[in-house]
Structure 1
Amino acid sequence: MNRSTLSLAGAVVALAVLTGAASMAGGDDSSAAPAASSSRLPVQRSTLLCPEPSTSEFAATTYTSFTPAGSGSGSGTSGGQATLVPATTKPKALKPLTATGKPVTSTTDASDAPALIGTADGSLAPGWSVGQTTVVSDGPGRGLLGTSCVVPDSEFWFPGASTQDGRQDYVHLVNPDDTPAVVDIDLYGKDGQLKGSTGDGITVPGDSSKPVLLSTLIADKVQDLTVHVVARSGRVGAAVQSTDAKAGTDWLPAAAQPSGDLVMPGIPADATDVRLIAYAPGSDDADLTLKLATSSGTITPADHETLHVKSGMTAAVDLGDVTRGDAGSLIVGSSSAHAAVPVVAGLRVTRGKGSDQEIAFLPATAPIDREASVADNRSKGSTLGLTATGKDVSVKITSSAGSTGGTAVSRTVTVKAGTTVSMAPPQPSGLKGSYAVTVQRLSGGRLYASRMLALPLDGVPMFTIQPMPDDQGLVEVPLAGADLRVLEP
């Protein structure tokens, strides 16, 4: 074989490698090339990280792994595997997912249950999701904790944390890679950044997890905090576990990236108190407008039309029982006549009263471009919150087959612009076990979604809310072809 033949083969291989790398990286840079020079293809590999569920001896945790049928695959399609293994020692994997369209569940009641590192490849990678649901039936952390396991990244925002008396908030960091990650945790209150001695340069060893108690980072007792997690090197998964001695416990998911236009979809109709926490990370103050998208249209909450957020500071406002019996979504915009100032925001939501109350957190959520799934749904207790902005949106909702039996079912609904549709997902026929729900945007404006799971226990309205951003199951891949000019001397 002569040098020209070898060079041509090498060029073709290089182009193939570049194309494959783009599909696996999950990036989406539509400005990098004209639309005609790229296509959307399913990702080939996905990674998800699940935090340590609970140290309570009264905790029981269910993991639900699911990949929706679609993205070029039919229901039940195999050709890949999705596995979850404990961080650090990795002695044993949970039950693997081997086919699309049907969830697989695993359970544990161990108080030392570890964080998990998960990978999916082949047909199981596009849209793969894992739900982690924990019921703590007694003790100071009693309540329902739910989270969707997260994609590793280098930056996370958590508005709504606290170090006030009665709260114990931990940042859980999980490192999926062999090499250590170095992480900074910055805390911002109403007067700006709070200085601590141990929040910078936290090392998370490879293939391991580390919980960090926020009250060990600062001495201040702060009611409303914004937590900023940044990986100096490597990548991590991050989530905040919040325990209130009087009001229960839940996971605080990461908020959508800073923006001047935010939506927090799916505030329950019976919320007894809703608290908004916002932070302005830039150099300018933010003047925000607050609107509530209800079942019949968009209104302005009485006495809470606007919110001023100073640069580098956290602002909070108690909206009370803002939904007043009609489930809604909070829409945060800019009142400035000039360019909108980006902020991050989230809600602390309370249901019940007195000793029979429970909390959950609902962060600003990225819109669904194509589809999103939430893995763990039961025969009762699941409620979808769907909000449309700009234009009406046509939405297809698919409830999967049950983990131990049943047949998938779909329903199409229209969400009118500026409104919120609150509904139970369609029940799978002959359901046995738990099921997953996939929300697919068919056409129209922007769509935002969340799922509330309510599992009442002994008079306590235990619940958790999971935001449903787009699953990023498809990515833009440049169209590549051999260019013989690379062979020219």
Structure 2
Amino acid sequence: MNRTTLSLIAASGALAAVTAFAAFAGPTASGASAPKAAAELPVERTSLLCPAPSISDIADTSYTSFTPVTQGTASTGTARLQAADGQLADGTDNSGTGKGAKGSKSSKGGKKTADQPVLTPKAPGTPVTGDTSGADAPALIGTADGKFAPGWTVQETTEVAAGTGRGLQGVTCTTADTDFWFPGAGTAADRTDYLHLTNPDDSAAVVDIELYGKDGAIKSPLGENQTIPPHASKPILLSTLTDERQADLTVHVSVRSGRVGASVQALDDKAGGDWLAASADPAGSLVLPGIPKDATDVRLIAFTPGGDDADLKVRLASPDGLIAPAGHDTLHVKSGMTTAADLGDVTRGEAGSLVLTPTDQSVPVVAALRVVRGKGDKQETAFIPATAPVGTRATSADNSAKGTTLSLTASTATATVRVTASAGSDGGTATTKTYTIKSGTTQDVPAPVPSGLKGTYALTVETVSGGPVYASRTLSATESGVPGFTIQPLPNDRGLVAVPKTSEDLSVLQK
């Protein structure tokens, strides 16, 4: 008997043994038990990217880092924010400039060198802050692992006293991705809009930037094959990509290789400015939460990337339910063209959020709101992109006892929400409140404030029951009569991940 025959006999014996075991251990004649639901477990590592805060020499910027307390996390961990200066771990310069980023001030004063963290978070449940000033502050790359990773949130808030974009600007530092839509950008003569791209990885990223105006795609060869060096950030002035000057553009960022973080800084010569975060992924129905009660002008910008036109119902989710804005109850969005509609003072002194749904056929759309407060030379601007629901939990950092508004919307069904105010960055005790938001309404809820608050604090929003909840947070700070404000949507903080439960099932060998 040769060696091949012996191998075949051994293999057949092993298979028979496995089959026999499967016959005894496999599903019973009455059928297998249903698979168990996936477990929600804390993430073990999080990366965040913060754009360079300002082009103004008189800008003052604060950073606030916060990780909510999450059960089941590791007992140890680290988190740090460092300059996106093109330096690899071995110290090699890959930025293409041959120079490292300039240092920034910390909350304790003094200069930070490029390789020192801007701030070092404390234990989960307590915010920590840092600050910088001027136009030389770099973009930041942040990483957190272990107990600091689940729900890690960093807020970048900048005050500019005068000049282009004066007022309050805020952005929640983002995760890296490969596809972004920014309806609401512009290249008009009074606009200075920068697209900030940050690469957190060890290899270069290659990006295409497409612009779409009122008549469709705008030729922009300079937007193709943009290279973002490793561990570096590149601000791109949108008006340098085209000769066309339009107030309402949709910017599409698609990554050919690698991944990037992306945000648009939209600045106006007279009406202030703010950061425009990416819209939620294209969808047939969208929610744009948290229009301020005293908004003097609201402009809706929408775009459909598919081959079909979109017809949308436009509804305002007010404190009393869904209503149709007078003269703007529908919106027709032509395929591949940016469409804008002036809604005026649509909220009329009440809390409100915009809800977009298809009139008939569902066509994927992206959208954002440009919101103005004040009048004349006292105007200030902010943006509200369409956002994903809170889901299990969302987190907002850099809140104060005065000047913080939390807006909650239940677009399709009544929901119960739990809101926790963390301890303060310099002292205070956490507190929690529960709210019920009726179907089709928006409520500006009185956000809880930590007892004995010193410094700033974080808000954690959790969906307890009911339908999906959409949220945003508005920060307000009036300076020299100008109603400075900034709005950040609160999508799910991705602190938990579904991990399916598995077990051995040898019955598959019988099939």
TM-score, normalised on structure 2? 0.86
Instruction: Find the counterpart in structure 2 of residue 63 from structure 1.
Output: 63
What residue identity is the alignment partner of 1:149? C
Number of paired residues?
A: 450
Instruction: State the distance in 2 between where 1:365 and 1:451 align.
Output: 12
Structure 1 residues 213, 407: CA separation in 2 closer, same or farther (over 3 Å shift)?
same
Say whether the 8 Å CA contact 1:71–1:126 is kept in structure 2: no
Give how far 1:327 is off.
Answer: 1.3
Instruction: Find the counterpart in structure 2 of residue 83 from structure 1.
Output: 80
Say whether the 8 Å CA contact 1:160–1:348 is kept in structure 2: yes
Give how far 1:482 is off.
Answer: 6.1
Structure 2 counterpart of 1:428, from 436, 443, 450: 450
Structure 2 unmatched runs, 5+: 1-33, 88-113
Instruction: State the distance in 1 between where 2:118 and 2:497 align.
Output: 28
Instruction: Find the counterpart in structure 1 of residue 41 from structure 2.
Output: 41
Give how far 1:38 is off.
Answer: 3.1
Instruction: State the distance in 2 between where 1:304 and 1:450 align.
Output: 23
What residue identity is the alignment partner of 1:260? G
> Equivalent residue of 1:220, what SS?
coil
Say whether the 8 Å CA contact 1:80–1:98 is kept in structure 2: no
Instruction: Find the counterpart in structure 2 of residue 474 from structure 1.
Output: 496
Give how far 1:366 is off.
Answer: 0.3
The alignment status of 1:370 with 2:392, answered yes or no, reads yes
The superposition leaves residues 200-222 of structure 1 with CA deviations (integer Å, 9 ceiling, x where unpaired) of: 10000000000001000010011
Structure 2 counterpart of 1:321, from 329, 345, 348: 345
Instruction: Find the counterpart in structure 2 of residue 198 from structure 1.
Output: 222
Give how far 1:276 is off.
Answer: 0.1
Instruction: State the distance in 2 between where 1:319 and 1:390 align.
Output: 23
Instruction: Find the counterpart in structure 2 of residue 156 from structure 1.
Output: 180
Instruction: Find the counterpart in structure 2 of residue 175 from structure 1.
Output: 199
Give how far 1:35 is off.
Answer: 6.0
Say whether the 8 Å CA contact 1:81–1:98 is kept in structure 2: no
The alignment status of 1:461 with 2:510, answered yes or no, reads no
What residue identity is the alignment partner of 1:39? A
Structure 2 counterpart of 1:347, from 369, 378, 381: 369
> Equivalent residue of 1:215, what SS?
helix
Instruction: Find the counterpart in structure 2 of residue 416 from structure 1.
Output: 438
Instruction: Find the counterpart in structure 1 of residue 208 from structure 2.
Output: 184
Structure 2 counterpart of 1:439, from 452, 461, 468: 461
Give how far 1:143 is off.
Answer: 1.2
Structure 1 residues 69, 300: CA separation in 2 closer, same or farther (over 3 Å shift)?
same
TM-score, normalised on structure 1? 0.90
> Equivalent residue of 2:447, what SS?
coil
Instruction: State the distance in 2 between where 1:115 and 1:486 align.
Output: 51
Instruction: Find the counterpart in structure 2 of residue 310 from structure 1.
Output: 334
Give how far 1:486 is off.
Answer: 12
The alignment status of 1:101 with 2:149, answered yes or no, reads no
Give how far 1:480 is off.
Answer: 4.0
> Equivalent residue of 1:198, what SS?
helix
What residue identity is the alignment partner of 1:282? G
The alignment status of 1:395 with 2:417, answered yes or no, reads yes
Instruction: Find the counterpart in structure 2 of residue 50 from structure 1.
Output: 50
Give how far 1:57 is off.
Answer: 1.1
* Greater Rg by CA: 2
Structure 1 residues 377, 37: CA separation in 2 closer, same or farther (over 3 Å shift)?
closer
> Equivalent residue of 1:212, what SS?
strand
Instruction: State the distance in 1 between where 2:498 and 2:244 align.
Output: 46
Instruction: State the distance in 2 between where 1:35 and 1:125 align.
Output: 29
Instruction: State the distance in 2 between where 1:165 and 1:110 align.
Output: 25
Instruction: State the distance in 2 between where 1:78 and 1:377 align.
Output: 27
The superposition leaves residues 119-147 of structure 1 with CA deviations (integer Å, 9 ceiling, x where unpaired) of: 11011111110000000112223111100
Instruction: Find the counterpart in structure 2 of residue 141 from structure 1.
Output: 165
Give how far 1:237 is off.
Answer: 0.2
Structure 2 counterpart of 1:360, from 382, 393, 396: 382
Give how far 1:389 is off.
Answer: 2.1
> Equivalent residue of 1:462, what SS?
strand
Percent sequence identity over matched residues? 58
The superposition leaves residues 22-78 of structure 1 with CA deviations (integer Å, 9 ceiling, x where unpaired) of: xxxxxxxxxxxx8626322111000000000012111010000001112435xxx95
Give how far 1:483 is off.
Answer: 7.3
